Structure 1
Amino acid sequence: MANITVNLSSNIINTLFKEINNNDTLADSIAGFFRTENSFGDNHPSFTNASLDNGRLHLSYSDGAYSNSDGVVQANPNASSGTATATSLEEYYPLHFRLTATGLINYIYSINGANTIIDTSGATISSVNIQSLLPSYSPDYDSLLGNGTDTMTGSITIAPGGALSGTVSSLSYKAEKIVASSTLSGNFSISSSNVNNSPNLGAMTVSGTASSFIEKYTDGSILSLTNLALPVSSSTVISPDLLGNEKNFAGDDVFDIVMGSPLTKAWTFASGAGNDKISLQGGGNSVLINAGTGNDTIRLADDGHVINGGAGNDTVILSANRAAYTISKTVDGYNLQTNGAAGPIDTLSGVERLQFSDATMALDISGTGGQAYRLYQAAFNRVPDSAGLGYWISAMDKGMALNDVAALFVSSKEFTDLYGTNPSNTDFLNSMYQNVLHRAGDPAGFAFWLGHMNAGDVTRSEMLAYFGESTENQAALLGSIGNGFTYSPWG
């Protein structure tokens, strides 16, 4: 079960979320850490000074850059050449970035006066942290977010030849402005043919599953996706567009959406399969809900939304009384508008039920709601009582077949009182025409059904169900229930 929380202020919507655009793939995001590290070496091919003191190897460069390797252990401390390891690395590139990494870093070295050579020879990295240090006048400086800090954790092996493999468990980011923190967690297998091939890194491949994505903003806004089981690949883009793919949400998911203002581009939330719970406030018709399959509930705190309930038995919950709204049938569903207001309209499709603060309404005139109403009216020649109707709607929602309900109606005392204890087939059929269609049977139709009843091809309960669902009866009741009807829910 995924839990989705989207609570965005107008300020965040009008800055970061004005348009839903993000083209950075997961492979690009991970590769960026190694491209940054490579750029340090590309811009600093030789150091001006080297020192080793208390396990720290310090290299300085002519432009003020430096690198520190801590926890240094030489395989043979007395040799003028050989190998060594370090447990952490810091690279400082003035006006560009500071990079820190932890793990086990391998070195090869040769000490020969001015010709001293120190180079890396593979590593196993558990974390990498890159802090941007760009001045505000730099063309690469992000004027909206300012400088940022990116962090990657996992277990990544870099072979001496440059090939890369391993797993990533999290990718995090925070900015000087607006973004307080942003973290993608999961288990991602990664590989690249040559991490030393700056800037392309060979072919970076990513596969695995994301378990959460949480982004917090400095004004208290939040975008949170937790309890995920989201398959990811090299081309996956971690962006709000993920929320519009119903394949990403196959369980009984919970969506809690609060939007401070509408976006300039529509944002779709697709809850996919499962019995989902969705609450929505704000955003107007720029927020589109696609509830997918399952018996979903969508709670609306205000107006102007576009809701597609999809397959299943879906309920929209509203905070006001039934009398506060005008409901009108459309080609695809229903429109819902507050009475006396020229404001936003809720556009509903694939929605079977409306739950007001004082009443519940069935909109599924062609579904179990409408069938239960027509069968009730056909059996007892009266408007169904609200409680009884609610009971049978509940039974049919849970899977009871129309013919089975009809059989119970036929065996009821009210039915017997209306049709007689043991009427003949002729009398029963005459009563069907009069009580359901309110007319005498046409000779051809009457003879047809009487013949089938006499032959035992059709039971009386099946006749009741047929008359209730007949085109004529549906048309006759359309004026009464065509815009939905209220009932008392059972249980």
Structure 2
Amino acid sequence: MAFLTSFIIEPTGDPIIDVLVDGYVWDLSESSTITWALADGLNADDVWEDRAAATQTFAAALASFEQFIDVEFEYLGDFSNPDIAGQAGADIVYTLDNADLGDGTLAYAYYPGPEPFTQFEQYATEGGDVFLNFSSEIIATSSFGLGSDGFYTVIHELGHALGLKHPFDGSPGRPTLDELDQTLVQDLDWFTIMSYSDQYEDDLERLDPATPMVLDVLGLQYLYGVNTTTFAGDTNHVLTTEDFYYAIWDASGSDRVDVSAQSQGWTVFMPDFAASPLVDTLAGFALPSSQFNDTLVASAPTEMVWLMGDLENATGTRFDDWINGNRYANDLRGGGGNDELEGFAGNDTIDGNEGLDLAYFEGEQSSFTVTIATGEITVQDRRADGAGTDTLRNVEVIEFYTDATRETLDLQEFGGPAGLTAAEHESFIELYVAYFNRAPDAIGLNFWGTAFSGGTSLEEMAALFIDQPETRETYSEGLSNEGFATAVYDNVLGRVPDQAGFDFWLNALNSGGVGRDTFILGVLEGAKAAPGPDATPEFIAQQLADREFLASKTDIGALYAVHRGMSDPDDARAVMELFTGSESSLTAAVSAVESLYSEALDPATGAFLMPLVGVLDNPFDAIA
């Protein structure tokens, strides 16, 4: 008699499990080994043309199941008929039969047995046995290569032998696949090998499954548990071009899905979908992007890989890829194309490599902090249930999205100031102080810093600043040269101009020797210039006071925009107005910045923040 018996389980109430599990399951409480054998048919004249090749085919089919479940298939031998094989202890027997069933049957199989069956159709050990119908042309002529209808038939029948039903057969408590949400799954062979529906049924040697598919894996893992040894170490799964569908199960380790060898762009979703609460296995998928039509059920792939289990990292092709992470800490790498990448939950590393690459983040932009540093950018989702903190390299564009909004941050315009010097950054802040009479906003400051790093000179920036609406508001068009010079001295140096300096600059303005943009730069540069050899003590003292005043305004501006990364112009103006030159006013301005920053950090009601680190020291750290 066969070594194993079986038992029946009731419907679970979970449609993903019940749509394929019919209740019959091998009893592996004493052993996880299921024996199998090869046999001729019940008719003694039935023989295999190549018995060694047949054994290899069935061994490959069993191995394709064994990688997913806590079962070991053990080959028992080759027998003259399935009854004798069962009597010798074979639980599953692959049998060649040339019966002409008259209904086009390729093959059939029995559920696990012998118990609880009490009536047998042919012999007492038939439970779990598989019959292939040699009268069928497909069985008689198939190569049984991976992806062929022949091999698909072999693994389909093995699914029955392990307790899986057709997805189109329902019973009390067990739905059909058509009764489930058709936007997620459909009765197609690349969702389950137990389906009869094939989008490419005329191609008999390609475009069929070569392993159990996602629904099969979930059902079988529910019945028999997971194989914890499959790819238990750190594994690099290189996906090569195949004309069939298959599934990868990875039990543990730090693993990578690598599509870099592909000859076109791919779409990769790392495993993050928990289809059933009864099985912990997460599912994702990978396929050529040209074959992905927004959703899986709307697609008709010719190659498709289900990604299941503990998979964290991905590497793209040299073409345009769409790569999506999961709840783990992902390392996602684009290739040479224009890639789109998203880490989702976890603290991820996203490297676009070459091309024009886009990183997605789900949520309102105001919930995020983008920190710019030399060589990398970090994006922190401040929501407790958000996407964590991701590190970006070689990414040109960030997009924040919700169902209703999309907000884009072009890092080519705003992400390039980290390589500039502290003095260069201070000069940009001084422009905001002088032209707008406020602290800079982080977004604007990063824009001008990026422009400067791209070749725009300070003089060119000054010419652009003078024509800004804020400058015209600060220095009205009707303001005389005298009024303009006085206002600049007040904003930049906090004082009325000395007569000699005032006369010099007014002369230059009136004569047209300098423009207003050049004048403002001149005042800024004069405050920081070394005093001449004939400078009086009074002049030196005044210059030192001017420097200290301008430096304090610059520090306030840096605290607001550089260290805290805030960008509201009204707040930037309000904090700068608090500073009048005294120590107490400086303290008040710093306190106001920190109060605004505390409010901005709120993930629901706060603001988008874009600090810059590693360039300017924060002189107020000791105060904070």
The TM tier, using the shorter chain, reads 0.3 to 0.5
Instruction: Between the two structures, name the one with larger relative contact order (CA 8 Å, sep ≥ 6).
Output: 1
**TM norm structure 1:** 0.37
Name the structure where helix makes up a greater proportion of residues: 2
